[in-house]
Amino acid sequence: MVLDYQSDMTVVGEASDGAEALRLLRTTPADVVVMDLRMPVLDGVTATRRICAAGPLPRVLVLTTFDTDEDAFAALQAGASGFLLKSVPPDDLLSAIRVVAGGDAVVAPRVTRRLLDRFAGRLVAKDAAGLPEMTDREREVLLLVAQGLSNLEIGSRLQVAEATVKTHIGRILAKLGLRDRVQAVVFAYESGLVRPGSESGSVVSPSRPEARGDAGVSP
């Protein structure tokens, strides 16, 4: 009801488990799938992996009661573009669907912080000289993405147009072989470009909800 009430959204189908969702998508085009994790017949992670392996659309936004590290890791590794908790306010859910439909990613901030802390604790920083070649501006943009700034905020910080920021991010993702902003944030920490607790890494979520509930949305 909430989704259908929006002028820019239409619910084209509903499924009770992952297997039914896959069957439905064979005949019903969709831009975004809002996916649960714990389901009978076929779980949400497996369904997400199969959906994402089939092509760029639909994108998957996981909406679940469970926020364990294992669930979040599995969903994002499977190709999900978002991971939110069912306690998310309706307005944030709607915004997240629009963000994912637009090609960006969104993850509940407290989940993202745990993911990055866990990555940083077990990964060895790579030699910066061994990283794919990026321009100084692209590296600067990547660092700001890792701090959680939106495209608009990055543009304001660097005094360039938002469209220019989007172009830089597209090139960064292509050079690094990454899917979205979530992977870009993780890459920045894996590679040692940003450290948790440092001034540049003090904000580690790819979204900036400004103290609003559990969910965050990256424009």
* pLDDT tens digits, one per residue of 90-145: 998 999 999 889 887 787 766 666 665 665 544 444 444 456 788 889 988 988 88
pLDDT for res 14 = 94
pTM above 0.75, yes or no: no
Confidence band, pLDDT 50/70/90 cuts, at residue 213 = very low
Nearest in space to 174 (alpha carbons), one of 122, 121, 134: 134
Q: Which residues pair with 33 in a beta bridge?
A: 60
Confidence of residue 219 (pLDDT cuts 50, 70, 90): very low
pLDDT digits (tens, 9 = 90+) for 159-173: 999 889 989 998 998
Considering only 57-66, 68-77, 171-180, which range has the smallest mean pLDDT?
Answer: 68-77
Q: Is the pLDDT at 205 greater than 60, yes or no?
A: no
Output 205 or 92, whichever has higher pLDDT: 92
Angle at the Cα of 128 (from 124 to 131), degrees rounded to 5?
A: 100
- Determine what percent of the chain is predicted with pLDDT higher than 70: 75
Mean pLDDT, all residues of the chain: 78
Residue pair 79/49 in contact (Cβ under 8 Å)? The answer is yes
pLDDT at residue 64, rounded to an integer = 86
Q: Average of pLDDT values for 191-201?
A: 55
Tell me what pLDDT residue 151 has.
83
Task: Give me the helices (H) in 63-161, please.
Answer: 69-77, 90-101, 109-122, 136-146, 151-158
| Long-range contact set of residues 52-59: C-beta below 8 Å, sequence gap at least 24 | 52/78, 52/79, 52/80, 53/79, 57/29, 57/30, 57/31, 58/25, 58/29, 58/30, 58/31, 58/32, 58/33, 59/31, 59/32, 59/33, 59/100, 59/101, 59/103
Mean pLDDT of 15-43: 93
pLDDT computed for residue 34 by the predictor: 95
Question: How much is the pLDDT for 7?
Answer: 92
**DSSP one-letter string for 170-201:** HHHHHHHT--SHHHHHHHHHHTTSS-TTSSTT
Tell me: pLDDT of 72 over 60. yes
Higher pLDDT residue, 21 or 219? 21
> In the prediction, which pLDDT does 116 show?
58
Q: What are phi and psi of 90, to 5 degrees?
A: -55, -40
